[in-house]
Amino acid sequence: MSSLYPHAVPGVYARWQALRILLRERFLLEALRPLREDAGDVFFLPLPGMQVAVVAGAEAARMALVTLRPLLSSRLQSDPVVQLLRSGMLVIDGEAHDRMRRIAEPFFRPEYLEAHAGRMLQQIDRRIDAWPDGGVVEMDVEMRRLALEILLDVLFKLPEEAAEELWEPLQAARAYIAPGAWLLCPRIPRPSYRKPLQRLDTLIREFIRQRRSEPDQGDLFSAWVQRTDMNDEEIRDQMTTMLIAGHDTVATWLAWTIALLAWHPEIQTRVREEIREQLGENMPDPRFIHRLPLLRAVGMESLRLFPPIPVLNRRALVPLRMCGVSIPSGTRLLISIYTIHRHPKLWKAPESFQPERFLNPEGEGMGFRYLPFGGGPRFCIGAPLARLEGFLALARMLQRVIFTPLASPPRPHLRATLDPWPGVWVRVQRIAVRGSTA
Ligand code: HEM
């Protein structure tokens, strides 16, 4: 491709097609398809006054995430994610990043996480108990509340009331970092966010003050507070990062998975049968998850079709060469996980929901064509927590309720995560199982 288009700039016809898709579907990532087909796996977006390159292939993604990592910075200073997270692990580089990662890592190990499985299941059951039998529930909102409660309990030993207090400010923070006009005009004033973001800060500082007066709780929060080399400012940044990165992503994944199951009732029935065969009416348990291959495959296929973080941001610190394409210093790189996950040379029938492809790992191996949690040294630190709570929640929900769809299926909408729009509205019908209130 690079010999046809040495500068990796898509041709006029491809741009025209991209524009038509953009106007029809109002979804930028889908519009990248004709551009990639025309200009190859690394190409420049034809934007006036901006140097933006898209990474849309597995080998190019491997280079960006591993080989060339020291030559890339994570984000631009003007990016609202950086404004919000400041020195949070997600947006810093080098030794400062590695240090924060080392401190947090023990709290994402299986032995730590699995000790919380019982409490997670209580939280999951409480939420299911509140759904009216035969009623309509907005699952994306339910899953966001559930993921927030679990996150606060596992990493910060904070009660449900904290989730309630944080809810509104966190919704404002989600909206603040979602793609918008600021991408083209970074200095555009956004006064409506000042108050809710201040409220988020105040709450987090109050939690820190409170924790400083308490004994060690054995969680990540206490680990930060007890360190003499971390001040309140740093703790605020790491905590905001975990709150933002750790609840919305899981919630979006679960909401899309419920939508896929609701709109594919035959697969929903097969997964429920698998759960019944393996668990009967017993509570799901971390040890049983590997005995639910179809459930796992459904979760993985959902992450392939609708990766909650569909694009990763990087910036070239020096001139680079990537898959034959020259990238000038300062270029903004968008690693489009969404496009890679639907690349026809990497996946059979990439647009269809086929969980079976993940039942046979040899059939469709992984590598850098499957990147829901990123890759390389910045691989999502929270992936083990996400998988544990996600599969426990899915197994328990499918044990206890049947999801039936309303209206038409949701469409992907690029916000802070790849949201299902206009939401996942489903009818829930209870199944009587032991230990439930049905
Ligand atoms: C399904 C759920 C999740 C998905 C799809 C997801 C996705 C990702 C991706 C793609 C990255 C790489 C970002 C990059 O390279 O720029 C990442 C990083 C990160 N994630 Fe997750 N994530 C999930 C859940 C979580 C959870 C539960 C937590 C924390 C409790 C978390 C915390 C983080 C943090 C702190 C980073 C930055 C890691 C680093 O830079 O070293 N994530 N996540």
Per-residue pLDDT of the chain (438 residues; tens, 9 = 90+): 444 445 699 999 999 999 999 999 999 999 999 999 999 999 999 888 889 999 999 999 999 999 999 999 987 778 899 999 999 999 999 999 999 999 999 999 999 999 999 999 999 999 999 999 999 999 999 999 999 999 999 999 999 999 999 999 999 999 999 988 777 777 788 899 999 999 999 999 999 999 999 999 999 999 999 999 999 999 999 999 999 999 999 999 999 999 999 999 999 999 999 999 999 989 999 988 889 999 999 999 999 999 999 999 999 999 999 999 999 999 999 999 999 999 999 999 999 999 999 997 654 457 899 999 999 999 999 999 999 999 999 999 999 999 999 989 999 999 999 999 999 999 999 998 765 544
Distance 280 CA to ligand 1 centre (A): 33
Reference 256, options 391, 33, 411; nearest CA is 411
The one-letter code for the residue type at 179 is P
Return the sign of the alpha-carbon dihedral for residues 313, 101, 95, 216. Answer: positive
Instruction: Tell me how far apart the alpha carbons of residues 32 and 28 are, in angstroms, rounded to a whole number.
Output: 7
User: Residue with the nearest Cα to atom 13 of ligand 1?
Assistant: 374
Q: Does residue 286 sit in helix, strand or coil?
A: helix
Distance 407 CA to ligand 1 centre (A): 32
Q: Is the CB of 309 under 6 A from ligand 1?
A: yes
Instruction: Tell me how far apart the alpha carbons of residues 38 and 13 are, in angstroms, rounded to a whole number.
Output: 9
Q: Does residue 281 sit in helix, strand or coil?
A: coil
Which helix H or strand E contains 226, and what residues bound it?
helix 220-226
**Phi and psi angles of residue 135, each rounded to the nearest 5 degrees, phi first:** -90, 170
Q: Is the CB of 101 under 6 A from ligand 1?
A: yes
Q: Is the CB of 381 under 6 A from ligand 1?
A: yes
Instruction: Tell me how far apart the alpha carbons of residues 194 and 216 are, in angstroms, rounded to a whole number.
Output: 33
How far apart, in Å, are the Cα atoms of 135 and each of 9, 426, 428?
51, 8, 6
pTM, two decimal places:
0.96
Query: Where do the domains of the chain lie?
Result: 1-73+310-371
Q: Which CATH number fits domain 1-73+310-371: 3.30.43.20, 3.90.180.10, 3.20.130.10, 2.20.28.270?
A: 3.30.43.20
Q: Is the CB of 299 under 6 A from ligand 1?
A: no
Distance 342 CA to ligand 1 centre (A): 21
Distance 98 CA to ligand 1 centre (A): 15
Distance 278 CA to ligand 1 centre (A): 30
What is the number of other CB atoms lying within 10 angstroms of the CB of residue 181? 9
Buried b (16+ CB within 10 A) or exposed e, 1-39: bbeebeebbbeeebbebbeebeeeeebbbbbbbbbbebb
Q: Is the CB of 380 under 6 A from ligand 1?
A: yes
